[in-house]
Each structure stands twice: as C-alpha cells, then as structure tokens.
Amino acid sequence: MSKLIAIVEDDPDQRANYTDAIVGKGYDVAAYSNRQEALEGFGKRMPDLAILDIILGEEVDAGFALCRELLARNPTLPVIFLTERIKEVDKISGLRLGAWDYQSKPISLDYLAERISSLLRINEVRASTDSRDATARQIGDLSLDEDALLAAWRGERIDLSGTEFRMLAKLVRAPGHAVSYETLMNATLQSLVTNNTINTHMRNIRKKFEKADSDFACIKSEYGFGYRWAS
C-alpha cells in the first residue's frame, strides 16, 4: 500500500498544486480544507505524514490543534507545518508541539516532495531495529543512529525530530567544546532561524532527555555563544 500523505490547506489552488506534486511522486493523498473535515478523515485512516497550514478559514490556530490531535494518536508521526505565518513565535509554537519541519510559503513543489520523501525514509529506518543496531555509535551514555536520526540515552529511546537530532549530533561531535549558535543554525537546514529558535530546540531536547533521566545535565548553555555537551 502506498504511503498516505494528508494535506490540510484551505486555499483550493494551493491544495490542488500540493496534491498533484505529491501524487506525482507515487504517494496517495488525502486533502482537506478545514479542521473538522481533516479530523473526520483521520478517524477513517491515519496518514503516514501530515502537511498542515496553521490558519484554516476563520480558525487562526487550527493547524496547531490538528498537530496536537495527530501526535496524541501517533507520537512518531512526521508533521510539516506549511504556512504564511513565519513569525518566530509561531515557529517556536510549532516546534514545541513536536512538528518535524516548519516551512514558509511559497515553497517549491519539488522541494516539498523531496522533504516528504526524506522524512518518510527517516521514519522507516527508525522502525527498523536491525538498522539501528548496525549503524548506531556511542558517546558515553548516548547512542546515535545517524541513518535513522534516532537517539537513545542509557538504552532508552529518545524521540527527537529530524531538526533536533541534527542539532544534537552537531553538539556531541566534539564533547566538551562549545558549539556556536551559527553552527547550530546551519544544522537545522531551515531558513529564518534565530538564537531564540535554537534555544527553544535545546529546551525541547533537554526535556525529552530529562523525561528519560531526571538527572540528565549534559547540555550546557554558553551564554551569548551557544551550547556545549558535557559528558
């Protein structure tokens, strides 16, 4: 069965363009124009990846609500926000909810299709225990599988978004050495990234590790410069 990509977008032209581009890559598409329609569709079949606009009709935060609902049903589901809302507070909100990616409109359809393929590949590798065991490397109590973008702390899996994983991998490349905000920004592979966005990512990463280990304290802030991994 082909992977199902959900698109929730209230603009009919954009919705049709996204659908054509994604179908052209061999995926199935379920396209919805509003939050209620999307929720009904998710009840019938959950997607393998979801693309959400934030503003849907008169609901200014509908995409955020849908993201919460989707991740409550499937915490590992890749979610992409695709929106005209590019203020830092909106991006931070999306990242805190657990979105894997946050893209601004307009977007190249070829790029969007490639991002979908990339995130689906990552999710498939994450589900393969054989691949994880074969490619993971150890940094103290931390295990990193750079193929699956998967981390484990003292044997317990830590579910990070792709962006969070890339930042962590950059941070632990040289344990004990400070890594600059600029270097961490480059690791996100996103545009319009600020120090505050990086700080939000790092808070999210810390919380996920602290959930597994209340004594976790390996991520240190270097005031005004960046962060350091203290093993």
pLDDT for 74-128, tens place per residue? Answer: 988 999 999 998 887 888 788 788 888 888 899 999 999 999 998 898 888 776 6
3-state helix, strand, coil in the chain (%, to 5): 45, 20, 35
List every span in the chain annotated with CATH 1.10.10.10.
129-229
pLDDT for 177-189, tens place per residue? Answer: 999 999 999 888 7
Q: What local confidence, expressed as pLDDT, does residue 150 receive?
A: 83
- pLDDT higher than threshold 90 for residue 64: yes
What is the spatial distance between Cα 123 and Cα 159, in angstroms, rounded to a whole number?
Answer: 11
What is the spatial distance between Cα 35 and Cα 126, in angstroms, rounded to a whole number?
Answer: 29
Residue partners of 30: CB distance under 8 A and separation at least 6: 4, 5, 6, 7, 41, 45, 47
Tokens coding 163? 């962006």
In the CATH hierarchy, which fold is given to the domain comprising 129-229? Answer: Arc Repressor Mutant, subunit A (1.10.10)
List every span in the chain annotated with CATH 3.40.50.2300.
4-125
Q: What are the b/e assignments for 60-81, b being 16+ CB within 10 Å?
A: eebbbbbbeebbeeeeebbbbb
Q: Which CATH architecture has domain 4-125?
A: 3-Layer(aba) Sandwich (3.40)
Residue 24 CA to chain centroid, in angstroms? 24
The residue-averaged pLDDT of 57-84 equals 93
Predicted TM-score of the model (pTM): 0.69
pLDDT for 188-226, tens place per residue? Answer: 877 678 899 899 999 999 999 999 999 999 999 999 999
